[in-house]
Amino acid sequence: MLRMRQHGCNFAQECKQPIQVLWLSKPAERAALSQEDKQGWRCIPRLYAKVMRYTVARLVGFSLVLGMTCASFAQDQQERDAKARPPTAAAPAVIWSDPGDIAAKNLLYGSGGEKGQPHPPFTFVEEDTEGSNPKFDVRDADGEKWKVKLGVEARPETVATRLLWAIGYFSEDDYLLPEIKVANLPEQLHRGQEFVKAGGIFQNARFKRHPKHTDKDGTWEWRKNPFTGTRELNALRVMMALFNNWDVKDENNAIYIDKETGRQLYLVSDLGASFGTIGYRLGAGRGKGAVGPYKHSKFISHVHKHDETVDFAAPAHSTVLGVLGLFSIPNFVTRMQLRWIGRDIPLADARWVGGLLTRLKPEQIEDAFRSAGYSDKDVRTYSEAVEKRIEKLAKL
């Protein structure tokens, strides 16, 4: 039976009039076509050819873009690997030390203490264009050099460093200053110009400096380091999950050489993607430092009784929405490769770090968030959420 429908041939420009698009079920019916029908059929092969050429061109273009994206991702990975050089010293490597009396720690000021705070006035030194957040170096009234970070990462990073330091992990000295004035600013910053107010004023600026008496000596990898399989490294992985720190790339880790003892200090240097969602998100803030999502996010995913291990929800992969854009493919691949950091952690190691955290008083946890300039309401909400997570660790 001959089935026909009218179809405008606006794809094939040479077909000015509507044409008959035919679907023929039997060869005999094709032979019975009138001359007029056959005339209308002639442009079908041309239309089909144009459609095919258009489709192939789009597929080729997509493949080229995908290939270039993957090549760019591979090149970026090679550059990151080149920066992640091993430490040059032969002294012992350490990632944790006995914190002593945890309940006596002052989390309002952290590892640097009250006297170690940056003192104004501040003078601009140079801009730091690495990473994803605006940063620049300044010197304070004492000639001390500090790295200032602006934006959404400033507050959560300040809190995370204090909690790590409280239970024995190494950290840089971090302080959150609610308002600062910086002299000798350039006319235009490459990044962060939107944070500059009249007179060189900035708000909620995080100040960071190296641990005392140290020099930075490269970065370290989560998979390959002197502590693989140890309780201390596994507990550090638990802490990343407790913070919901999803940006646990190797380049965010640092090795410092203690000039007095010669020890190699291993620490997590960038903790800005904490206290928000369990994974990268599109939109402003990328899910960092968001109290609502943190409070309602899942902490422990699964406890494996058969092999005595536990999986945590963070770090998670990117949102599905992020995969829809070609620009997000490298990001999605990176996040997928990082999920192992929160998985298959021995229950004994998770309980151990939970035991350390239970020594913190509620007031200390509140002080950690208060030091980052959070409102009283957010301090309470965050602190309660962290305390609940600590309870879950202790009960594993």
244 pLDDT higher than 70? yes
Peptide bond into 121 cis (omega under 30): yes
360 pLDDT higher than 90? yes
Residue 96 has which token pair?
Answer: 């944790």
Report how far residue 383's alpha carbon sits from residue 110's, in angstroms, rounded to the nearest whole number: 16
Helix spans in the chain (H): 27-31, 35-41, 43-83, 154-166, 231-243, 291-296, 320-323, 329-338, 347-357, 362-370, 376-394
- Give the pLDDT confidence of 109-157 residue by residue, as tens digits: 999 999 999 999 999 999 999 878 899 999 999 999 999 999 999 999 9
Residue 326 has which token pair?
Answer: 């070609």
The predicted pLDDT at position 14 comes to 40
Residue 306 has which token pair?
Answer: 């058969």
pLDDT average, residue stretch 299-305? 97
Q: Report the candidate in 178, 179, 175, 182 with the shortest Cα–Cα distance to residue 116.
A: 175
Tally of residues, the chain: 396
- Give the pLDDT confidence of 181-202 residue by residue, as tens digits: 999 999 999 999 999 999 999 9
Tell me the pLDDT band of 285, cut-offs 50, 70 and 90.
low
Eight-state DSSP code of residue 310:
E
Report how far residue 96's alpha carbon sits from residue 169's, in angstroms, rounded to the nearest whole number: 5
- Give the pLDDT confidence of 316-335 residue by residue, as tens digits: 987 655 444 445 677 677 77
Tell me the pLDDT band of 242, cut-offs 50, 70 and 90.
very high
The predicted pLDDT at position 71 comes to 47
pLDDT average, residue stretch 28-57? 47
Report how far residue 291's alpha carbon sits from residue 385's, in angstroms, rounded to the nearest whole number: 9
pTM over 0.85: no
Q: What is the mean pLDDT of the chain?
A: 83
Report how far residue 238's alpha carbon sits from residue 235's, in angstroms, rounded to the nearest whole number: 5
221, 84 in Cβ contact below 8 A? yes
Tell me the pLDDT band of 90, cut-offs 50, 70 and 90.
low
pLDDT more than 90, % of the chain: 68
Which comes out higher in pLDDT, residue 232 or 28?
A: 232
